[in-house]
């Protein structure tokens, strides 16, 4: 009986910790509303973030937008958040390798998207950065040993991504 109660408590606590991790660090701060910035980011398509979870507990995350040196489009920023959620729920995960498709790592945010977002409303550029910062903080807190495999260039948001990893 005591053991069952203890297990239940442990599971509830784990669930709560996961739920808290997913909450944005910034919601409500400086007018930041995650759902609104997500709608804006959806408008900038292209590229993908692929995750392969191997049987040995190693995840391989690929930044895939080689035409733009793997720059992060809005769609990729949203996908990165989804992949991080997937990793948070991966019970058998032990490690994570992040690499870029082709012969480079990542040239940062897609400058076309940055330009358009910043031109639409001054604060939207800041909200986009806050969105990414939140995802990278969650990535940094994953209970996995993470390695950024930096081949070629890592600029702007790409360099920030490497600093969210344990090793680079």
Ligand X SMILES: CC[C@@H](C(=O)O)C(=O)SCCNC(=O)CCNC(=O)[C@H](O)C(C)(C)COP(=O)(O)OP(=O)(O)OC[C@H]1O[C@@H](n2cnc3c(N)ncnc32)[C@H](O)[C@@H]1OP(=O)(O)O
Residues that bind ligand X (CB under 6 A): 68-69, 71, 107-112, 114, 129, 153, 155-157, 160
Question: In this complex, which beta carbon is closest to ligand X, that of residue 109 or of residue 146?
Answer: 109
Closest CB to ligand X among residues 68, 164: 68
Torsion of CA 150, 111, 68, 166, to 10 degrees: 20
Shortest reach from residue 75's CB to ligand X, in Å: 14
Type and span of the H or E element at 86:
helix 74-88
Of 4, 82, 94, nearest in space to 50 by CA:
82
In whole angstroms, how close is the CB of 109 to ligand X at the nearest point? Answer: 4
Contact 74, 123 (CB under 8 A): no
Residue closer to ligand X (CB basis): 93 or 106: 106
Q: How far is the CB of 163 from ligand X (least distance, A)?
A: 11
Minimum CB separation from ligand X for residue 80, in Å? 12
Residue 80, by phi and psi: left (phi above 0), alpha (psi -120 to 50) or beta? alpha
At a CB cut-off of 8 Å and minimum separation 6, what does 2 contact?
A: none
* Minimum distance, C-beta of residue 139 to ligand X, in the bound complex (Å): 14
- C-beta of residue 57 within 8 angstroms of C-beta of residue 94: yes
Query: Closest CB to ligand X among 88 and 124?
Result: 124
Token pair, residue 50, equals: 């692929």
Q: Which is nearer to ligand X, 8 or 45 (CB)?
A: 45
């Amino acid at each position: 009986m005591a053991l069952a109660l203890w297990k239940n408590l442990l599971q509830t606590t784990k669930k709560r910790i996961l739920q808290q991790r997913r909450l944005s660090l910034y919601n409500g701060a400086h007018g930041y509303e995650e759902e609104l910035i997500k709608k804006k980011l959806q408008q900038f398509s292209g590229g993908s973030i692929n995750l392969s979870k191997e049987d040995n507990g190693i995840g391989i995350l690929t930044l895939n937008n080689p035409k733009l040196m793997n720059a992060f489009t809005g769609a990729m920023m949203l996908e990165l958040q989804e992949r991080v959620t997937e990793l948070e729920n991966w019970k058998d995960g032990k490690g994570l390798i992040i690499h870029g498709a082709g012969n480079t790592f990542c040239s940062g945010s897609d400058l076309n998207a940055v330009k358009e977002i910043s031109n639409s409303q001054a604060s939207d550029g800041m909200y986009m950065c806050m969105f990414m910062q939140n995802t990278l903080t969650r990535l940094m807190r994953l209970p996995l040993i993470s390695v950024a495999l930096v081949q070629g260039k890592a600029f702007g948001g790409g360099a920030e991504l490497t600093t969210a990893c344990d090793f680079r």
